[in-house]
Amino acid sequence: MMTTVAKAIQRQRVKRLLQFVLLLGLAAGVLFFAGPRVGAIVEALTPPVLPEVDSEATPQRLEQNWSLSDSQRFHSITQGTTTIPVPLSWLLALEAPQQSLLALPFAKSGRFIGNDYFLRLGFMKGEVNPNNLLGLPVGVTVTRSQNLPGISGVVDGAGFTCAACHTSPLTYGGVQYIIDGGPATIDLGLFTAALGAALGQTAVSGKLPVFNGRFDRFVTNVLGDAYSDYRRVQLQTELDTLIATLAENPSAVDVVEGFARLDALNRIGNQVFAIDNHRFENYVPINAPVNYPHIWTSPWFDWVQYDGSIMGPLIRNAGEALGVAASVNTTAPDGDQRFASSVDITNLAWIESTLAGPPPYPARSFGGLSGPRWPDQFPPIDEDLAAAGRDLYRQRCRRCHLPPLDSLDIWDYFSHIEWYDGDSLRTSPTEVLKVQNVPLSEIGTDPAQSRVLADRRVDTAGFAGGTPETRTPGMGLDTTVCTPAAAAYSPPGAPSPATDGEITGYPRGALVNRPLRDGPNLLFALALGGLVQGVTDAWFDQNYVPNYMRERYHEGRPNCLRAGAGYKAHPLNGVWATAPFLHNGSVPTVYDMLVPSDERPTLVQLGSTQFDAERLGLVQDPALEARARRSPEERYVEGYFILDTQLDGNRNTGHEFSDRWRPGRRRSEQPEGVIGPLLTDDNRMALIEFLKTQ
């Protein structure tokens, strides 16, 4: 028999052996998880840190000339999009991701789409009403009968409405206000990462032999009474396939968007020219984020977008719907409904008409959605200071931003749109507001967004080689678009001829219809206009819309595109409620817009909705800024996005009132970005007080 001492020695040896094996296992595990492939998987499964929000607060509406039913319908009316690339039943069943992967096998989360989680991505709380039977957040709606990648059959999906990007929350005095048509706060990059983590954690849970509660709950909620072992296996396969399909799509980012910003034009181009048709060579990394624009009054502008690049309302809205993942076919043979899409043109027409109201001219009255009025709950307006600010506005701001919309002078800026269709000069049936586009050399703001349409090229041609059966067809662009007759699309630095080469005999700058065909190096601006024209024409054909009605849908305006025209100076009605400022959201308050650029904040915090009623803009937290300066490599601090204005695409330069102003010189002779003489602090506060009245 083994002695007690011998047994103890043996136990000690076994213990040491087990410790050695455990150490080897830990070392191997560290080496394994430190590898780039596994590290990427862990990163994808780990959700972003999000800011805390008050999910119980119910936003209060401000008076904006809309009824409650108009507002509710705008929040929930579908454009035909499936921005959230999962079936509706999955979205409703999906749990929010666990912040720690160690909690994955054991913990239960609330709903991903629930207010406790989803609102932390920048969305606003929705309520059950006749337009929103499921009580989904503002800007999220049901899109019926969709085909989704990796999912068998036709399913109901979920997509973004116009309100997702154009409804804003503003918090002051402990109250959150909802501003229809205002700039959203959502962070689409964080949304994508959070959804990916939620889907990935659910898929991993389904592969655990015992600790698979997350997947079990998902299956139970999705299938309900239709549960069967076969359907469970099929659901798991579809989940894996969907994740693999989404992972194949390119997603490179050069400039992080963050809360309240989106690289809208590049995202639209990536969706329709790269992702939808797997032409990944057309993908461009996100590099030119812009602040979500406010949209009241804009239906009556002659040109829209920050760079004043698109004229046709239906083209603009249908292109936006395609950018947030309305489906479109670009592979069907000619004559077989190529460009058929899920875009809901009828709903887009309702949105546009409700935003616009009746024609403001010659009635000399703006209807539709108006900018918000300064609430009575805010500090009272100093009327004497506002009157002084009105005079300053006339001296310093009117040249670019036009007369105030409550003045009689604004009606002098309305006129018809004119363009050439061959030899015929055509005219729009209604007058529109001629907004000012300021050249980049004069305004001096960050050039990234203005270069998107001017510099980007796309390949829509078919690929050579192969047999007729295997050859990849072109996208099928074969239409007419309108563009200025000057050579606005020459390579940078090229001389500009008097006319547009192919088109002669028109005055420089005249709008001219020109043919557009597939090609390997098309200007993005024209290719996008041509593709969206194909989408609207296909919808008209499918729905047997007569020609005179098509003109009404287009509001009698041409499908005109232009690039490189600078930045649009938006009228300033309601501007007090539209922070952050400049096109790229790099300036937190109106006050900071009125100081020299080297006095503006270098780091801008985005993600909070707290309103600074004195400076007009976003409250900035000094403690958060101090932490961000200690860790400059971090883009998010405590869940809030830290915008570094020293990076290209984020720069806060330009639009500057400065002592560098040269009296007696023309604007074109001033230093780049200097638009007026240095303002005193009293001047700034007077202008701010005036803007509260607009």
User: For 541-564, how does the pLDDT look when each residue is reduced to its tens digit (9 = 90+)?
Assistant: 999 999 999 999 999 999 999 998
Residue holding tokens 């079990």? 216
Mean pLDDT of 507-518: 90
Extents of the domains making up the chain: 4-34, 52-248, 321-368+414-567, 579-691
Strand, helix or coil for residue 171: strand
Separation between Cα atoms, residue 291 and residue 75, nearest integer Å: 19
Lowest model confidence (mean pLDDT) among 304-318, 401-415, 450-464: 450-464
User: For 560-610, how does the pLDDT look when each residue is reduced to its tens digit (9 = 90+)?
Assistant: 999 989 999 999 999 999 999 999 999 999 999 999 999 999 999 999 999
> What's the pLDDT score for residue 640?
97
Flag whether pLDDT at 478 surpasses 70. yes
Provide the residue type at 586 as one letter.
Answer: S
> What's the pLDDT score for residue 104?
83
Burial of 678 (0-12, 13-18, 19+ CB in 10 A): middle
Neighbours of 253 (CB within 10 A): 12
User: For 166-183, how does the pLDDT look when each residue is reduced to its tens digit (9 = 90+)?
Assistant: 999 999 999 999 999 999
The token duo for 195 is 């959804």
Query: Band of the pLDDT at 501, cuts 50, 70, 90?
Result: very low
- Is residue 272 within 8 A of residue 566, CB to CB? The reply is no
Beta-strand pair 522-523/457-458: antiparallel
Mean pLDDT of 625-642: 93
* Selected residue with higher pLDDT from 333 and 308: 308
> What's the pLDDT score for residue 471?
54
pTM, two decimal places: 0.91
288: closest CA among 437, 447, 489, 488? 447
204: closest CA among 103, 117, 120? 103
Mean pLDDT of 396-423: 96
Name the average pLDDT for the chain. 90
> What's the pLDDT score for residue 468?
58
User: For 414-457, how does the pLDDT look when each residue is reduced to its tens digit (9 = 90+)?
Assistant: 999 999 998 899 999 999 999 999 999 999 999 999 999 999 99
